Amino acid sequence: HDEELLIESAMQMQQMMMLYESGIREIKTKLDILSDESRISGKPSPIDAIKSRIKSPRSIIGKLKRRGFPISLQSMIDNLNDIGGIRVICPFIEDIYTVADMLMRQDDLTLIEKKDYIANPKPNGYRSLHLILEVPIFLAERTQPVRIELQIRTMAMDFWASLEHQLRYKSDVEIPEHVSDDLKKCADVIAETDQEMQRIAKELKVL
């Protein structure tokens, strides 16, 4: 009996992961098509790179526990929006909104939530546009909607966020206040550089 229960829950987990992988594939294909379209028309692509990941079972359970949600498959689907995540890296700030608008115009995608940490950066200096998108997955006998978290940011924003994330997780000690201030200053310098690069691109009529 134990064996059957174990197989049953392993299969449910496998099916859930398959759904999130399919959701990522669907949205990545849409992004690839938009990128190819620009390339073919001779315009610079608003997309520099696309990364994706499925949250590991350990971090899924950690997040459910931290937020006080039940630990079950249904609870994961209902309460977490970032089991499947895609990160889109753009050359310029304006490209971020171009990509977001292009996706939001596609009528099989539903925008569940939008957080603009570029217009409203986090107090620590974090900048990115976050979208939670719902995409339908067509299975043999039913259609299952799946939520995917999209983080869209410039190369410069990605540089800061990746290093800040590493520093935060690798450091054994609590980050002292003067170090947080230094990191915030770096984020602000990077944001100014992003603006300046965009101005230059416009002057050269590349954007």
Q: Which residues are catalytic?
A: 149
Asked if 165 is part of the footprint of ligand 0O2 (rule: CB under 6 A), the reply reads yes
- CB 39, min distance to ligand 0O2, A: 28
Site string for ligand 0O2, 12-51 (x = CB under 6 A): ----------------------------------------
Residue found by looking up tokens 């217009």 in the block? 119
Reduced to 3 states (helix: H, G, I; strand: E, B; else coil), residue 85 is: strand
Q: Which is nearer to ligand 0O2, 24 or 207 (CB)?
A: 24
Question: At a CB cut-off of 8 Å and minimum separation 6, what does 19 contact?
Answer: 137, 144, 146
Please provide residue 46's backbone torsions phi and psi, each rounded to the nearest 5 degrees.
-75, -5
With vertex at residue 95, the alpha carbon angle to CA 92 and CA 101, rounded to the nearest 5 degrees, is 160
Q: How far apart are CA 112 and CA 149, in angstroms?
A: 10
Reduced to 3 states (helix: H, G, I; strand: E, B; else coil), residue 48 is: coil
Please provide residue 85's backbone torsions phi and psi, each rounded to the nearest 5 degrees.
-130, 140
Asked if 82 is part of the footprint of ligand 0O2 (rule: CB under 6 A), the reply reads yes
List the one residue from 38, 81, 110, 180 that touches ligand 0O2 (CB under 6 A): 81
Contacts with ligand 0O2 in 112-141 (CB under 6 A)?
115, 122, 124, 126, 130
Asked if 65 is part of the footprint of ligand 0O2 (rule: CB under 6 A), the reply reads no
List the one residue from 164, 194, 198, 207 that touches ligand 0O2 (CB under 6 A): 164
Q: What share of the chain is helix, strand, coil (3-state, %, to 5)?
A: 55, 20, 25
Binding site for ligand 0O2 (CB under 6 A): 81-82, 115, 122, 124, 126, 130, 161, 164-165
